[in-house]
Structure 1
Amino acid sequence: MRVSVVGGSRIGPEEEATAEAVGKLLAQRGHSVVCGGLGGVMEAACRGAKEASGTTVGVLPGEDPAAANEYVDVAVATGLSHARNALVVMNGDAVVAVDGGGGTLSEIGFSFVYRRPIAGLGTHDVEGVEACETPEEAVNYVESTVESASE
């Protein structure tokens, strides 16, 4: 399964640790991480995934694939700026949101448009986002929701 991990580009140590744990858990369970490819939550989730030998995809806002953080395996340059948020969500089977501002809120909105289950860790309090307390709870939620939808 591919899971889009979305969240703030400027984060504190707590959000960084949370995003890294999400990425690591996803990779340990055989899932790929899709993200916006830059810093903050995106970089932390990719770093966690790489620590567990996982695969990472960064859907970048600009035209230069080299702008991706060092933990991105596959960098996709779009030249779409924030409009690339739709592609980040569309290319995951589920979404985990960690923290975040307006860009993350747009990705939450696209999660509804593309009917992706979404787990939230300290993010926007929006109806339809499953509020989770731990990375394990978030990963369990997206796994069980995607699994039950495919049955």
Structure 2
Amino acid sequence: MIAVCGASDARADERRVATEVGTLLVGRGAVIVCGGVGGVMAAVAGAVRRAGGTCVGLLPGADAADANADVTIALPTGLGEMRNALIARCCDGMIAVGGGYGTLSEIGFALRIGKPVVTLGSWDVHRPGDTGMDPALHPAGTAADAVDWIMQRVPAR
């Protein structure tokens, strides 16, 4: 399962990238997990639905009705932004598209537990004193590059 993360108030260009990522991931046989609400999450869920795939939404609230209409499976957590740790834990790899501090927390949780992360116009994360990029983190230039990189690093299902 691949997590796609990004802001709920995403810009149009970020929504376009998330749409392309979702379509490409479904074409590679991936199941997608996201935060289940708006912005990047709605864009990827819509692309996944149109491509015939499955998108699991781990919702911050306690009501499944809060999910965007394109989520295949809505799981209300009641955890608020703490659900970001669940998203990082349940995925095999993560693609972050743009995003704010919530997305940064998802990236941090994923890297902390050893999951590969691709960023597309998202955070540039370095540990203090490190001179290079964490090998589990890849800044991609295109949706295709992001999907290729992550799919090479997750177990085949």
TM-score interval, smaller chain: over 0.9
Matched position secondary structure for 1:44: helix
Q: 1:114 deviation in Å?
A: 2.0
TM-score calculated relative to the size of structure 2: 0.90
Give yes or no for the alignment of 1:115 onto 2:114: yes
Deviation at 1:51, TM superposition (A): 1.4
Give the structure with the higher percent helix.
1
CA distance in 1, matches of 2:22, 2:50: 9
- Partners of 2:65 and 2:97 lie apart in 1 by 25
Which consecutive aligned stretches of 4+ in structure 1 deviate over 3 angstroms post-superposition?
Answer: none
Give the number of aligned pairs.
Answer: 147
Where does residue 136 of structure 1 map in the other structure? 144
Does residue 1:17 correspond to 2:25, yes or no? no
Match of 2:124 in 1: 125
The one-letter code matched in structure 1 to 2:98 is D
Matches of 1:68 and 1:107, distance apart in 2? 19
Q: Kindly report the root-mean-square deviation, in angstroms, between the aligned alpha carbons of the 2 structures.
A: 1.1
Q: After superposition, where does 1:8-87 map in structure 2 within 5 Å?
A: 8-87=7-86
Structure 2 gap segments, 5+ residues each: 127-133
> Which runs of no fewer than 5 residues in structure 1 stay unpaired?
none
TM-score of the aligned structures, taking structure 1 as reference length: 0.94
Separation in structure 1 between the aligned mates of residue 142 and residue 108 of structure 2, nearest angstrom: 22
Q: 1:67-91 deviations in whole A, cap 9, x for unaligned?
A: 0001101111111001000111111
Whole-Å separation in 2 of the counterparts to 1:26 and 1:71: 16
Task: Look at both structures and tell me which one has the larger radius of gyration over its CA atoms.
Answer: 2
